[in-house]
Structure 1
Amino acid sequence: MEGILKEALGCDRVRKMGGRGGGGCISEGQSYVLDEKRTVFVKKNNNEDARAMFTGEMEGLKSISLTDTVRVPQPIKVFDSGGGLYVIIMEHVEMLPLHKYNEELGTKLAQLHLHNINKIKTSIKTSGRVQSSDSAQSELVDKFGFSIPTSCGLIPMPNDWETDWIEFYARHRLQPQIDRIIKNYNNRKLVELWSNLQLKMSQYFKDTEQIFPSLLHGDLWAGNTAETANGPVMFDPAVLYGHHEFDLSISKMFSGFSSSFYEAYHKLIPISPGFDTRLKLYQLFHYLNHWNHFGSSYEQQSLSIMKQLI
């Protein structure tokens, strides 16, 4: 990898940093020192979907960074190093497990979610309409989706722009996961439950205010957050513009966030009627995604949530 990095980044010396690498359960990661001056973090993966995964991650990190709300590692480059090995290079950040900055992360997550919403509301107030663009880098986005596919784990998720959130979520989040499970497991009970659930989805939103697109992390469990000496940081995003509540779903599936995180978040974005039911609907995506990644140990949890919803 040292030789690959020299060529990719145009440096003379590359030294592997000591300590344990990272990258999660999907990719292999390691930090390096370049020319004894700067440090980078490198993830590599030889799966055929890795290029799409890393490209989506890079664009997601850029988009979150541009909001100037919560810190993320600055992405540098995505490339094919040869032989089907894909690589993403980003800023190395000295991180510790999230502990004392739980409350600040809750505040910053809410600020991230409000960043685009506030622009939409300002546009409506000043001009009477939304002046929009279908670009993740634009001043304002009034549709649901993202400029390119992003991956939750290794599975690329389509992000075709939609004007309706419920349609986007059903078509571009749940349906691809369900299609993959049906292909691999031929689970007929899932087909039956999904047919019934689609007919009821709109009911879970009848008491909500109009949903405006928020820039979301997309895979916000505790393992994708940390803290530095100066504040919280998040990484490994699966970015999309969507309903802000979606980001809270996986955070409640696995332990790791304190009550102060949620209290700080809801000070800025209060809980809406029907929140608990929609949370189950959004958790369904993650259970299905885990079923596709890790096998049928997540089958019963996925089917159980579907039964509760219908």
Structure 2
Amino acid sequence: MEELIQKALLSSNKISNNSLIEKIIPVGGGCIHKAWCILFQNGKRVFAKSNHIDNINMFKFERECLSVLTKFANKSYICVPKTLDLISYQNISILFLEWIDLKQSQQNLLGKGLALLHKSSSECSQKNFGWEEEGFIGSNNQIRGWDSNWGEFFVNYRLKPQLIQAKAWGVRVDDYEDVLIYLSSYLNNHHPRISIVHGDLWSGNCGSTKNGLGSLYDPASYWADREVDISMTKLFGGFNKEFYQGYEEIWPLDKFSKDRTDIYNLYHLLNHANIFGGSYKENSLQTLENLRSRA
């Protein structure tokens, strides 16, 4: 694979700046793509993600998401890696990104930066919730489409497709039609402002740079209620008090936001159940029953 990446780079004038590659080092952490640190002889480093050519649309989606996040990110608070190139070579596709040095650090600027991203994007007169192209959430499809009603969008384009897929492990969508009707109505009455969201905001998809700035990467973005990001930060943990304090300083959440956390995280629980199985199935079904009890 290292040899293929090296040959692929020869076809790109956007990355090397005529510097020779010193070495290509595997980087751990991902479960979908293989990841690499490319070190050039001039000291420059580049991050690369590789996969089979059939999965190039995953990289195209990621590239578009990073571009939109960059557009609305306040660079004094948030660093979003630049896309350097996307190359197809033989049977592989490779996404090359700016290398960002991360470290365990305080999360205050990450929280503030996320709030500023949500707030600035909500002021751009976007009229509908959704996304133009088919996307991905992990290795699963994230359905394209638009709706002016938030509840109808979230149910029809996020929850229902996951429930339909869950048929493979015994779920019948009809059994939860009452829950979906309730959630659609409940969220329609919420009337959130439309913001661009990261869309897959667990602790493995964000961090802090050596300079202390927040950093966002591996997004699954769409135009949504900003609370979907905040909700997911609470699903697997990893975010401290500084993060939430920073967020609230910029754009406070309303007092009912916690009531929507389980609704928004149901999307991710179902997605994990469909991809990984295991206890995510039980957690998904339990959440559905808990939400039914609120109807």
1: CA distance, partners of 2:197 / 2:267: 15
2:166 counterpart of 1:185: no
Which residue, 28, 32, 36 being the options, matches 1:26? 32
Is contact 2:110–2:208 with CA below 8 Å preserved after alignment?
A: no
Structure 1, unpaired ranges of 5+: 121-140
SS at match of 2:102: coil
Tell me whether 1:272 sits opposite 2:254 in the alignment: yes
* Pick aligned residue for 2:86 from 78, 85, 92: 78
Aligned Cα root-mean-square deviation (Å): 2.1
C-alpha spacing 1:51/1:71, structure 2 compared with 1 (3 Å)? same
Whole-angstrom CA distance in 2 between matches of 1:259 and 1:22: 28
Which amino acid is 1:168 matched to?
F
Q: Which residues of 2 match residues 1-310 of structure 1 at below 5 A?
A: 1-9=5-13, 11=16, 13-17=20-24, 21-22=27-28, 24-34=30-40, 36=42, 38-46=44-52, 48=54, 50-69=55-74, 70-83=78-91, 85-97=92-104, 99-100=105-106, 102-120=107-125, 141-182=126-167, 184-188=168-172, 191-205=173-187, 208=190, 210-230=191-211, 231-310=213-292
Unmatched segments (≥5 aa) in structure 2: none
Question: Which amino acid counterpart does residue 174 of structure 1 have in structure 2?
Answer: L
Report if aligned partners of 1:17, 1:33 keep a CA contact under 8 Å in 2.
yes
Distance 1:22 1:148, change over 3 A: farther
User: Number of residue pairs matched?
Assistant: 281
Cα separation, 1, equivalents of 2:24 and 2:53: 25
Q: Write the distance in 2 (CA, Å) between the matches of 1:194 and 1:147.
A: 28
Deviations 1:262-307 (A, max 9, x none): 1221233223243222110000000011112112431100001111
Identity of aligned residues (%): 28
Kept in 1: contact 2:149–2:188 (CA 8 A): no
Aligned partner of residue 239 in structure 2, secondary structure: coil
CA contact (8 A) 1:52 1:156 kept: no
Under a length normalisation based on structure 2, what TM-score does the superposition of the two structures give?
A: 0.88
Could you tell me the TM-score, scaled by structure 1's length? Answer: 0.84
In structure 1, the residue corresponding to 2:133 is in which secondary structure? Answer: coil
| CA distance, structure 1, for counterparts of residue 33 and residue 187 of structure 2 | 37
Displacement of 1:80 in angstroms is 2.5
Against the structure 1 CA distance between its residues 17 and 232, is the aligned structure 2 distance closer, same or farther, given a 3 Å change threshold? Answer: farther
* 1:24–1:89 distance in 2 versus 1, CA, 3 Å: same
Give distance in 2, aligned partners of 1:149 and 1:95: 30
